[in-house]
Structure 1
Amino acid sequence: MKVYLLGAANPEAVRMLHAVKRSTPNVEFAFLDNDPNKHGSPFFGVPVIGGSALVSELKGPDARFVNLITGSTRLRYETTRELVEAGATLGQFIHPGIDLTMIRMGQGSYLQEGVIMQAEVTLGDNTSISAGSVVGHEGQIGHSVFLAPGVCIAGCVEIGDGTFIGTNATILPRLRIGRWVTIGAGAVVTKDIPDFSVVAGNPARIIKTNAVPYPDGRVFK
């Protein structure tokens, strides 16, 4: 199996791929990055072989692609759509220490070390959860969602497609967070949040609206 990781930016991804290789030695990794200045140079010892334009050449039955871009869920969605439209088969990049018992998830997951997901959590396609985040029991996480480090989502919460949740944000139980919402770092969400909202503070309040032209974060149409 060959896994191509889009986005040679975070050295933690290299440490994580070494952990994956220790548990699954037959997996080979390489980076793709759309910055031509990175092409042909190793990223912390792992080759950067080119950009996403190589997908049509690299795709095949033993090739999988995972998007590591997380700074913007809109950009994450758009770049993963480009991979899929070029014929890529999405894979999983999941730290081997994560317990996936009673978890359901789609394709293209990027889950870092220390993530805790309780029983009956569901993850959509193209979702990324950073180190130390917690998703409570029966949580529903949509497509193309990103959780930054240290996020705490209580039980029975629904997170809509394309939502970005900042570092150390907290969401109380049984709430619904809409599509393409941005939740600021450290925010404490105490009530439902409508689609396209930007919220911050404790308690979190709507401060503006996201201008995102997509109805959802589905990468498979």
Structure 2
Amino acid sequence: MQDLIIIGAGGFGREVLQWAKHVNNAEQRWKIKGFIDDNLQALEGIECDYQVLGAIQSWRVSPNEVFVCAIAKPALKQSITTSLLARGAVFANLVHPTAIIGDFCKIGKGLIVTPNAKVSPNVTIGDFVTLLGSGVGHDAVLEDFCTISGNCSINGNVRVKQGAFVASNTCVVPGKTIGQWAYVGMGSMVIRSVEDHSKVFGNPAKKLKF
């Protein structure tokens, strides 16, 4: 049985710990070891049954370890996973037992799927995608490092490009594209494709002006 190490001991890290326990309750898959986090006091004053084992930046990867990256920010997720991959890290896919993954889906490494998410048939999911209790329609594409927050509707033939962040309760109408490293604000209705590196918000979603 492999040792599971969770990257990031913040709130999302503790959620991922809970989902890993649920996976093990359904089928003993891992020996959960704890967290790594560059903030060694991340769990100070917080009730938790696992500890921070050490810092991410100095962690030495062992052969029996597998990792899951509990970091939602796409750029930080990319930086951390790239560094650990260079040190020989192997990443697990963590799919909650209540999630539904349709037939003929193509799935990369480092995927996190939380409770009650629904992925329709023929969806393509890249590496290090985070899908938080949302629905993904048929033939959609979720590229590397993107994060889909809770209660989103990513409809059929939508493309969410590399590093995009889609905040909670967003709906993307069929066939539209969320550009690379774009940010879609909470509760948005996306009826037009979103440009690369842009931030949009609202119903309908419009580019934010600062």
- In the superposition, the TM-score normalised over structure 1's length comes to 0.86
Unpaired runs of at least 5, structure 2: none
How many angstroms apart in 2 are the aligned matches of 1:125 and 1:208? 31
Query: Structure 1 pair 64/40, CA: closer, same or farther in 2 (3 Å)?
Result: farther
Unpaired runs of at least 5, structure 1: 210-221
Paired residue type of 2:69: N
How many angstroms apart in 2 are the aligned matches of 1:4 and 1:170? 33
Report the counterpart of residue 26 of structure 2 in structure 1.
23
Q: 2:36 aligns with which of 32, 45, 57?
A: 32
Q: Is 1:64–2:66 an aligned residue pair?
A: yes
How many angstroms apart in 2 are the aligned matches of 1:125 and 1:194? 22
| 1:59 positional shift | 2.7
Query: Structure 1 pair 40/21, CA: closer, same or farther in 2 (3 Å)?
Result: farther
Query: Structure 1 pair 26/110, CA: closer, same or farther in 2 (3 Å)?
Result: closer
- In the superposition, the TM-score normalised over structure 2's length comes to 0.90
How many angstroms apart in 1 are the aligned matches of 2:98 and 2:50? 22
How many angstroms apart in 2 are the aligned matches of 1:27 and 1:3? 6
Paired residue type of 1:27: W
Q: Is 1:120–2:128 an aligned residue pair?
A: no
What does 1:91-110 correspond to in 2, within 5 Å? 91-102=92-103, 103-110=105-112
Q: Aligned to 1:64, what secondary structure does the other structure show?
A: strand
Q: Aligned to 1:36, what secondary structure does the other structure show?
A: coil
State percent identity of aligned pairs.
Answer: 24
CA-based RMSD of the aligned residues comes to 2.0
Report the counterpart of residue 162 of structure 2 in structure 1.
161
Paired residue type of 2:143: G
What does 1:137-216 correspond to in 2, within 5 Å? 137-207=138-208
How many angstroms apart in 1 are the aligned matches of 2:137 and 2:102? 14
How many angstroms apart in 2 are the aligned matches of 1:125 and 1:76? 11
| 1:47 positional shift | 2.8
Paired residue type of 2:80: T
| 1:53 positional shift | 3.7
Render the CA deviation track for 1:119-146: whole Å, top value 9, x for unaligned.
Answer: 1111100110112x11111110000000
| 1:41 positional shift | 9.6
Query: Structure 1 pair 28/195, CA: closer, same or farther in 2 (3 Å)?
Result: same
Q: Do 1:139 and 1:156's aligned partners in 2 also have CA atoms closer than 8 Å?
A: yes
Aligned residue pairs, count: 205
| 1:39 positional shift | 7.9
